[in-house]
Chain A
């Protein structure tokens, strides 16, 4: 036993004084037998442990239990420390009398260094895995989860909970077909998806997926096969993004582009059609003129011809208003501004429309007490007044129509009020739009086109036009034109 080199084997008396010493003990502790025999084993402990009474306590425990073992730091003769595996057992004489202790010590420093490094690596790995797990768990914008090789959900992050609506407890252990529509499931999409990911390593897909509440969302899905180093399929990592909003935006953009194209085509058609209409109208007009000359004395034919002529005039006016719209659509309104009096212009329009007013049965009153001077396009402004007055007597149901011209807040203001049924509230916002669909049948007859043309003309003057309903019934239209112009205040 004395020759064993890898173990320090020595005996202690009941007080802990060293009685025997082997070669291993000399190699590990650094003391020769002559140096150490008779001295206390507390020499082998660190000063802190000695101060804490550990050497004595350890022997006490060994005496009480018959055996004690520990791993800990020990101190060599030269003061250096080593990591020791220590076993202390009690020694008895042949009569069974306790006479001391046997101590076996191994130097584990080298093993401990390796162990510490290995443990550190393991801890680092665990920490890093933990960090990664926390990271994945915290990601909100992506559903990130694992499926086992059969498609059973095995992990779940907060993004998955947010996007799909299931908590981890609800979904882990369930098959991922829950995320697919019934049609997809019936068509075998789930098995196909796993098979493709398994064979190709990865699968990317976009399509409708189903939330817990059975609502659907447009998803981008990446499914990646996870394999062991030996190639066994361990499962799949699945990353799902909710692209519903983006898809809706795309669809909206597409829808708007289509709508704009439809409007463009319609405008083009409108332009061509109205131009084409001009030619036969010319022929009609000229022939009707000719017939009237040859008429002679037939009163019935005369009436019919007059009616035909009147209707050709109406057609002509209608085509002109279509062309006006067409011109407004294709280019900006070009104004020919001149110094003019708005009050006077309104009075002239009212006067020129006298016969239509009489026919409508409406009472038209004009309140324009003072000259309102400005620089505007006279013909265009007259057109606006004419459109608004035509509307008023058309929808005014034979009641009172009032036109007021005045200055207000530095603007020239024209208000046209009628006593008709008013404009339905939902239409107020859009009656200045071209061919507003809700009332399209009327539009070609006048209302829509007239208001649209008026709106464009007033806009070109940097003014505003608005419609509203009067408290007592009937509609009002307000046109405001800036008094200040490029030429300054007139």
Chain B
């Protein structure tokens, strides 16, 4: 567990159970997660500098704005483009898509909880 202010992690997933499970699991492991129900919602939250996270956990298939559109919008914004992303998906094809979107980490559902934590430790940006 980090000994300073815990890292904020934005969890973007339209499935409420998954979102809440991810948030609870991250809280259990000493992070400060917040949830967004789709890409649009996530961008809204990210416009508030106080809520800016050190890592984004992103689902791919969502209504309103999906993971790919969100990532493209994120890369357009100098303030947001450096925030690392972990893509989670049920589809194997997500691995290739993650690569093409410059996303360093992709986890396929069902997510191995230990592996998930390891990925977060590796990917999260140390807040400046």
Contacts and interface: CB of A to CB of B under 8 A. Distances in A.
Nearest to B88: A282
B90 A283 contact: no
Given A283-B18, A287-B21, A290-B28, A278 B113 contact: no
B91 A286 contact: no
Given A279-B18, A279-B109, A289-B28, 14 more contacts: A275-B90, A275-B91, A281-B109, A282-B110, A283-B17, A283-B18, A283-B21, A286-B21, A286-B25, A286-B113, A287-B21, A287-B24, A287-B25, A327-B92
A289 B25 contact: yes
* Residue picked from A279, A282, A286, A293, most chain B C-beta under 10 Å: A282
A285 B90 contact: no
A336 to B, nearest CB: 15
B97 interface: no
B58 to A, nearest CB: 14
Interface in A239-290: 275-276, 278-287, 289-290
B113 A276 contact: no
Contact of B110 (A285, A287, A293, A327): A285
B69 interface: no
A282 B21 contact: yes
Contact of B109 (A278, A289, A290, A294): A278
Contacts of A282: 18, 21, 88, 109-111
A84 B90 CA distance: 112
Contacts of A294: 28
Interface size class of A (residues with CB under 8 A): 10 to 19
A279 B15 contact: yes
Interface in B95-128: 108-113, 116
Interface of B: 15, 17-18, 20-22, 24-25, 28, 88, 90-92, 108-113, 116
A383 interface: no
11 contacts: A278-B110, A280-B18, A282-B109, A282-B111, A283-B18, A283-B21, A285-B113, A286-B21, A290-B21, A316-B110, A327-B92
Contacts of B91: 275
A188 to B, nearest CB: 63
Contacts of B109: 278-279, 281-282
Contacts of A281: 109-110
Contacts, number: 53
For the complex of A and B, the 5 pairs showing the least CB-CB separation, nearest first, are: A278-B109, A281-B110, A278-B90, A283-B21, A286-B21
A488 B7 CA distance: 54
A276 B24 contact: no
Contacts of A284: 21
Interface string A198-224: 000000000000000000000000000
* Residue picked from B17, B24, B109, B116, most chain A C-beta under 10 Å: B109
Given A279-B15, A281-B110, A283-B18, A290 B92 contact: no
Nearest to A316: B110
Contacts of B20: 283
Contacts of B110: 278, 281-282, 285, 316, 319
A294 B108 CA distance: 26
B96 to A, nearest CB: 14
A320 to B, nearest CB: 9
A286 B15 contact: no
A470 B22 CA distance: 52
Contacts of A285: 110-113
Interface string A132-163: 00000000000000000000000000000000
A174 B28 CA distance: 95
B8 to A, nearest CB: 19
B90 A279 contact: yes
A276 B90 contact: yes
B7 to A, nearest CB: 18
Nearest to B108: A278
A287 B16 CA distance: 13
B22 A286 contact: yes
B17 A280 contact: yes
Interface in A380-394: none
Contacts of A287: 21, 24-25
* Residue picked from B90, B109, B110, most chain A C-beta under 10 Å: B110
Contact of A290 (B18, B25, B108): B25
Contact of A286 (B24, B90, B92, B108): B24
A293 B20 CA distance: 17
A312 to B, nearest CB: 8
A353 B37 CA distance: 42
A289 B17 CA distance: 15
B19 to A, nearest CB: 9
A278 B15 CA distance: 12
A463 to B, nearest CB: 25
A472 B116 CA distance: 50
A191 B18 CA distance: 74
A294 B25 CA distance: 11
Nearest to A288: B113
Contacts of B88: 282
A287 B92 CA distance: 24
A128 to B, nearest CB: 75
